Structure 1
Amino acid sequence: MVGELSYFLGLQVKQTDCGLFILQSKYAKDLVKRFGLDSMKHTRTPMSTNVKLGHDPTSKNVDQTVYRNMIGSLPYLTANRPDIAFSVGICARFQADPKESHLSAMRRLIRYVNETVDHEILYSRESNLELAGYSDVDWAENVDDRKRISGGCFYVGSNLVSWISKKQNSVSLSTVEAEYIAAGSCCTQLLWMK
C-alpha cells in the first residue's frame, strides 16, 4: 500500500532485477560533515597497517567527549559496512583515555568512510541457500594484553548476512590455538544462524 521500500531505519534500499542493494550513504555523509572531515584528503584504507594502537601514557590527552562522539557514531554504520567493523572495534577500546594517536586513527577511519560513502551490500535474488562461514585471526596481536582479534563472515549462498570482529577472551600460546579459537567462534555463529 505504501509502495516499494526505499528507506528504512537509516538504511537506503535500492531494489533492482538482480536483487536488493543496502547502503547508508546519507548517514555516512552526515557523519563526515558533522566532524568537519568532509574537506579533508580521503584515504583508501580504514586503518594503517604500520601503526599498532595501544595505551600510550606518554602521549598528549585529547577531549574525551569529541572522541566518544566520533566512536559512538560509527557502530550503526557497521550495520552494512563490514569493512570498518575491525577498525571501529580497535578505536572503541580507548574511549576511557584517548590520546592523539587514537584520535588520529579515528579521523583516518572517518576519512575512509568519506571515500567510500557509496559502498553497498547486494542481496542477490539468484542465490542458493547454502550456509558458509569464514574465519581468521590477526597475526599482529594486541600490544597491551597480547590477545588476538578473530573475525569472520557468513554467507547464505552468495549473500553476506553476518560478520564479526572480536577480541579473543584468552591469550593464545600458539598460532594454531588462536586459529582453533577463531574457528570455534565461527562455528558457534553458524549454529546460532541455523
Structure 2
Amino acid sequence: MLTKFKSSMKLEFDMTDLGEMKFFLGIEVLQRVDGIFICQRKYASEILDRFGMMDVNVVHNPLTVGFKVVKDEDGLKIDSTQFKQIVGSLMYLSATRPDIMFAVSLISRFMSSPTQLHFSVAKRILRYIKATMDYGVFYKRGSSSELIGYADSDYTGDQEDSKSTSEYVFMMGEGAVAWSSRKQPIVTLSSTEAEYVAAVGCACQAIWMKKVLKEIGQDQEECVTNMCDNTSTIKFSKNSVFHGRTKHIRVRIEKQLADIMTKALKLDSFQGLRKGMGVKAASELN
C-alpha cells in the first residue's frame, strides 16, 4: 500500500524519497525489528530549556495525590502569556505522552486568569517531564491488532462547577493509539450518569476509529470492546429503563487504564497504568 501510494504521489508531484521516517512534526520515530517507538525527547528538552527548568529537581508523577486545583481567585496573579505558552507546549507534548494528558487538561482550564498555584502545578508537570524526557509509546510488532477502548469519569471532579471529567484510552496490542481527558459539558446527577456520558463519548470515538482503520487496511471485523468499571452504567447501556444503585468494580478486579486520566494517583498505581498503555523509556527497549 505504501509503495503504491508513493508511486502515485511521484506521478503528481516533484518528490524525493527520504527512506524510513525518523522525524515528523517534532515526533521522533524509531523503527525497530520488534516494533515502533515514538517519542518527543528533543521537544521535551526544548520545553525545559525554554522555561528555565533544565536544572530542577525531578518528580516521578505529574500531580500530587489528593491535591485539588481550583480557580484561586484570591491568589497571586502571574503572567498569563507565559502560562499559556507552557500549557500549549505541554499539550503538543501529550501527542506521545498519554501519562500527562489529565494533568495538562486540568491546568488548561485556568489559562484565562492563572495564579501562582496554577503555575506551581505546571512546574511540577515540567519536573516530571525532566525525569521522563526519553519516554514515549512503544508499538510491539506482532501484537494483537484488536482495538479496545477504556472509558472512565471523575464524578463532580471540578470543585467550581461540579462538572465531571470524561476520559478514554484506546489500545491496539500493547500501545495506546488514542486518548482524551476533558470536562463534560453538563452537570451529571450521579456517578452512573457521569460514567454513561464518558462511555458514550468513548463509543463515538470507537465508531470513528473503526472507519479510519478500515480505510488503511486494518478493518476491525468484530465489534470494538469498550471497557467500563461501573456496573450500573453497563446495565443501563443494555437496558435504558434500568435504574439501580451505582456499584464500582475495583481496580484490583478489572484493570481500568483510563484511571490515569481521571485523578492524581499513588506512584505505584500511576506507574503501573503508564506501563499498561505502552509508555516506556527508550532505554527500556533493549
Instruction: Indicate if the aligned counterparts of 1:172 and 1:178 stay in contact, CA closer than 8 A.
Output: yes
The partner residue of 1:32 within 44, 48, 51 is 48
TM-score, length-scaled by structure 2: 0.65
Deviation of 1:127 after TM superposition, in Å, equals 2.4
Identity of aligned residues (%): 40
What is aligned with 1:102?
118
Secondary structure in structure 2 of the residue aligned to 1:79:
coil
Q: How many corresponding residue pairs?
A: 194
Structure 2 unpaired stretches of 5+:
1-16, 211-286
Aligned equivalent of 2:147 = 131
Aligned to 1:17: 33
Structure 1 residue matching 2:94: 3-state secondary structure: helix
Tell me, in whole angstroms, the C-alpha distance in 2 between the residues paired with 1:45 and 1:139.
Answer: 22
Shift of 1:17: 0.9
List structure 1 segments (4+ residues) > 4 angstroms apart after TM superposition.
Answer: none
The farther-off stretch of 136-145 and 111-120 is 136-145
Pairwise CA distance, 1:27: 0.2
Alignment of 1:21-170 (within 5 A): 21-139=37-155, 141-170=157-186
Within 2, Cα distance between the matches of 1:121 and 1:151?
18
Tell me if structure 2 keeps the 8 A contact 1:147–1:170. Answer: yes
Could you list the per-position Cα deviations for residues 8-35 of structure 1 after superposition, in whole angstroms to 9, with x for gaps in the alignment? 2111111111111001000001101111
Return the alpha-carbon distance in structure 2 between the equivalents of residues 187 and 165 of structure 1: 15
Bigger Cα displacement from structure 2, 98-107 vs 140-149: 140-149
Displacement of 1:2 in angstroms is 1.9
> For the Cα contact (< 8 Å) 1:127–1:159, is it kept in 2?
no
- Partner of residue 4, structure 1: 20
1:96: how far off? Answer: 0.8
Paired AA for residue 15 in structure 1: Q
Instruction: In structure 1, list runs of 5 or more residues that go unmatched.
Output: none
RMSD between superposed Cα atoms in Å: 1.3
Q: Which has the larger radius of gyration?
A: 2
Deviation at 1:140, TM superposition (A): 6.1
Q: Is the 8 A contact 2:38 2:136 kept in 1?
A: yes
2:194 to 173, 178, 181: 178
Normalising by the residue count of structure 1, what TM-score does the alignment of the two structures yield?
Answer: 0.95
Looking at structure 2, the residues matched to 13 and 84 of structure 1 have their Cα atoms a distance apart, in angstroms, of 20
One-letter identity of the residue aligned with 1:71 = V
Residue 204 (structure 2) aligned to one of 167, 188, 191 = 188
Aligned-partner residue type, residue 101 of structure 2: A
Letter paired with 2:37: F
Contact 2:188 2:194 survives alignment (8 Å)? yes
Offset, 1:160:
1.7
Q: What is the CA-CA distance between 1:145 and the residue it aligns to?
A: 0.6
Q: Partners of 2:67 and 2:176 in 1: how far apart?
A: 29
Q: Secondary structure at the match of 2:103?
A: helix
Q: Which amino acid aligns with 1:62?
A: I
Code of the aligned partner of 1:150: S
Bigger mean CA offset, 123-132 vs 173-182: 123-132
Please report how far the alpha carbon of residue 3 of structure 1 lies from its aligned counterpart in structure 2 after TM superposition: 2.7
- Of 96-105 and 6-15, more deviation after overlay is shown by 6-15
> 1:172 Cα deviation (Å)?
1.3
